[in-house]
A and B are shown apart, each in its own frame.
Chain A
């Protein structure tokens, strides 16, 4: 096996696929989605997701 089955091995074997633009795009998408669902309290966004937040037990206004 080229890479041992360890956390370090996983990072090594993923490295070729983790090009900078891909990582940037992926992290941006996740951050936007996560941030919108968890922390945005801007009135329009908040009012729209208010029920989902309470349903998931995320603290809200």
Chain B
């Protein structure tokens, strides 16, 4: 049974991953190249975060011909593959593993469960970290060092996950006392999460990029991740509905009344 969940997660991840790969290739790569072109004037900013020798191929970084692994394949191309793997990873983790174990506790039925799982995944992976570290185009100077920001990003992912799990737990606990109360209760962990973002160290950014460009870049990133999670949820709900019909069909064919234990 776990296996069929993992397969569904993998398939949903593949759909979302390919879409994200295309997104990186068609929209993000040109946008990032443009950002690096715009910010390129004050070159060398990359190394300024203290992680010396950060960019071995600094010269090529601002241009189109930035080289990736061994300089054989271009970096933007590897990023397209990275996008595919990002989708796969999210699919397997969220809809393979997490969904298998948490499905009984997720409110709703069918596609609603998939959508809630996707929302939780988004909050964990992107939403919570973005409260403190919003998406930035390349070439933006940030007050915190890269290492500090990576640690902060990881910590906020954990905080986002905790908020989602806690919200689910509270919602289930209060559901019998009325839906309204349950929803209010479930909102508390998320409010705490937002509050936490104000307490954490600020990360002021200085940029030479036009404000409109940064806004457009952020909108694009948000759109990309929203697309990924929508596709994950949609594909997963569709696959799950299909598999359920198959299992029922199988059960009636063979005369087994419980497809779960029949395995």
Which residues of A come within 8 Å of B, CB atoms? 1-3, 5-7, 9-11, 13-14, 17-18, 30, 33-34, 37-39, 41, 43-44, 46-61
Residues B79 and A55 in contact, CB atoms below 8 Å apart: yes
Q: Are B150 and A14 in contact (CB under 8 A)?
A: no
Which 4 A/B pairs are nearest by Cβ-Cβ distance? A52-B82, A57-B135, A55-B28, A51-B79
Query: For residue A34, which residues in chain B have a CB less than 8 angstroms away from its CB?
Result: 89, 93
Q: Give chain B interface residues in 142-167, CB to chain A under 8 Å.
A: 146-147, 149-150, 152-154
Residues 63-111 of B at the A interface (beta carbon under 8 Å): 66-69, 75-76, 78-80, 82-83, 85-86, 89, 92-93, 100-105
B175 on interface, CB distance cutoff 8 Å? no
A2 to B126: give the CA distance in the assembly, Å.
38
Chain A residues, Cβ within 8 Å of B29: 51, 55
Contact of B104 among A5, A18, A49, A54 (CB under 8 A): A5
Task: List residues of B whose CB falls within 8 A of some A CB.
Answer: 1-3, 20, 23-24, 27-29, 32, 46, 49, 51, 53-57, 61, 66-69, 75-76, 78-80, 82-83, 85-86, 89, 92-93, 100-105, 126, 129-130, 133-138, 146-147, 149-150, 152-154, 218, 221-222, 224-225, 258, 260-261
- Select from chain B the residue with minimum beta-carbon distance to A47: B75
Contact of A43 among B54, B86, B129, B218 (CB under 8 A): B54
- Please classify the interface of chain A as helix (H, G, I), strand (E, B), loop, or mixed, using the class held by over half of its residues: helix
Q: A10-B100, A13-B1, A56-B83 are in contact. List 6 more A-B contacts (CB 8 A).
A: A17-B3, A39-B150, A51-B28, A51-B82, A57-B130, A59-B149
Contacting pair A56 B225 (CB below 8 A) = yes
What residues of chain A lie closer than 8 Å to B152, measured between beta carbons? 59
Q: In the bound complex, how far is the Cα of B36 from the Cα of A47, in angstroms?
A: 13
Please name the residue on chain B nearest to A45 by beta carbon. B69
Q: Residues of A contacting B27 with CB < 8 Å?
A: 55
Closest to B261 in A: A2
Q: Which residues of B contact A9 (CB under 8 A)?
A: 104
**Closest A residue, CB atoms, query B35:** A54
Q: Shortest beta-carbon distance, A14 to chain B, in Å?
A: 5
A-B contacts, 8 of them at CB < 8 A, read A1-B260, A33-B89, A39-B154, A47-B75, A48-B75, A54-B28, A57-B221, A61-B51
Does B224 contact A55, Cβ atoms closer than 8 Å?
yes
Q: Which residue of A lies closest to B144 (CB)?
A: A59
Residue of A whose beta carbon sits closest to that of B130: A57
Contact B32 A7 (CB under 8 A): no
Q: Which of B28, B56, B225, B260 is the one whose CB lies under 8 Å from A44?
A: B56
The answer on a CB contact under 8 Å between B82 and A47 is no
A23 to chain B, nearest CB (A): 11
Which residues from B are CB-within-8-Å of A41?
Answer: 51, 54, 146-147, 150
B56 touches A43 (CB 8 A): yes
Known A14-B2, A47-B55, A55-B221; contact A61-B146, beta-carbon cutoff 8 A: yes
